[in-house]
Structure 1
Amino acid sequence: MRFGLMLNEPSGQDPFAELSDRIAQAVDDGFDSAWMSNIFGLDALTTLAVAGRGHAIELGTGVVPTYPRHPAVLAQQAMTVNAALGGRLALGIGLSHQIVIENMYGYSFDRPARHMKEYLDVLVPASRGEQVKYTGDTLKANLRLTTPGAGFPVLVAALGPRMLKLAGTVADGTVLWMTGPKTVAEHIAPTINAAAAEAGRERPRIVCTLPVSVTDDPDAARARANEIFAVYGQLPSYRAMLDREGAAGPGDVAIVGDESAVRAQIEGLAEAGATDFVAAIFGDRERTREVVLGASKS
Structure 2
Amino acid sequence: MRISVMIGEVRGPADRDDLLSQATAARGLDGIWSAQALGWDALTTLVLAGGHAPGVPLGTAVVPVRQRHPLTLAGQALSIQAATGGRLTLGIGAGIGAMTGAMFGLPADRPARYLREYLQILRPLLRGEPVAHSGEFLTAMGTVDVPAPAPQVLLAALGPAMLRLAGEAADGTVTWMTGPHTLESHIVPRITAAASAAGRPAPRVVAALPVCVTADPDAARARIAERFAMAARVPEYRAALDRENAAGPQDVAVVGDEETVARALRRLAGTGVTEFVAAPLGDPAEQQRAVELLTGLAGAAGDRRSS
How far apart in 2 are the matches of 1:216 and 1:73?
Answer: 45
TM-score, length basis structure 1: 0.94
SS at match of 1:209: strand
Classify 1:245/1:73 alpha carbon distance in 2 versus 1 (closer, same or farther; 3 Å). same
Match in the other structure for 2:305? none
Aligned to 2:296: 294
Mapping for residues 215-234 of structure 1, pairs under 5 Å = 215-234=214-233
User: Mapping of 1:1-298 within 5 angstroms?
Assistant: 1-9=1-9, 11=13, 15-27=15-27, 30-53=28-51, 55-283=54-282, 284-296=286-298, 297-298=300-301
Q: CA RMSD in A?
A: 1.6
Distance in 1, Cα, partners of 2:270 & 2:111: 31
Q: Figure out how many residues of one structure are paired with residues of the other and give that number.
A: 294
Contact 1:53 1:84 in 2 (8 A): no
Please list the CA deviations of residues 70-126 of structure 1 after superposition, one character each: whole Å capped at 9, or x if unmatched.
112101111011100110111111111121111110111121111111111111111
CA contact (8 A) 1:196 1:204 kept: yes
Question: Cα offset for 1:16?
Answer: 3.4
SS at match of 1:272: coil
Secondary structure of the corresponding residue to residue 213 of structure 1: strand
Q: Is the 8 A contact 1:101 1:109 kept in 2?
A: yes
- Displacement, 1:268? 0.8
Q: Is the 8 A contact 1:214 1:256 kept in 2?
A: yes
Alpha-carbon distance in structure 1 between the residues aligned to 2:63 and 2:202: 23
Contact 2:26 2:291 survives alignment (8 Å): no
Equivalent-residue separation in structure 1 for 2:13 and 2:216 (angstroms): 28
Q: Is the 8 A contact 1:2 1:277 kept in 2?
A: yes
Q: Is the 8 A contact 2:80 2:88 kept in 1?
A: yes
Between the aligned partners of 1:177 and 1:85, the Cα distance in structure 2 is: 25
Structure 1 stretches of 4+ with a deviation exceeding 6 A read none
Normalised to the residue count of structure 2, the TM-score between the two structures is 0.91
Farther-moved stretch of structure 1 (71-80 vs 136-145): 136-145
- Taking only the aligned residue pairs, the percentage that are identical comes to 49
C-alpha distance after superposition, 1:133-168 (max 9, x if no partner):
323211122322221223111111111111111111
**Counterpart of 1:48 in structure 2: which amino acid?**
L
Q: Distance in 1 between matches of 2:278 and 2:242?
A: 22
CA positional deviation for 1:201: 1.3
TM superposition shift of 1:17: 4.3
* Contact kept in structure 2, 1:3 and 1:32, CA below 8 Å: yes
Tell me how far 1:131 sits from its aligned partner.
2.4
| Unaligned segments of structure 2, at least 5 residues | 302-307
Equivalent pair of 2:26/2:295 in contact (CA under 8 Å):
no
Change beyond 3 A, Cα 1:47–1:288: closer
C-alpha distance in 2 between matches for 1:3 and 1:214: 15
Distance apart, 1:11 and its partner CA: 4.7
Q: 1:148 aligns to what SS in structure 2?
A: coil
SS of 2:102's equivalent in the other structure is coil
Amino acid at match of 2:83: A
Q: Report SS of the residue matched to 1:52.
A: helix
Paired amino acid for 2:274: T
The separation in 2 between residues aligned to 1:19 and 1:286, in whole angstroms, is 14
Q: Which amino acid aligns with 1:38?
A: Q
- Distance (Å, rounded) in 1 between the aligned partners of 2:69 and 2:62: 15
Aligned to 1:38, the other structure's residue is in SS state coil
Structure 1 spans left out of the alignment, 5+ residues: none
SS at match of 1:155: strand
Q: Find the residue that maps to 2:207 and give its secondary structure.
A: strand
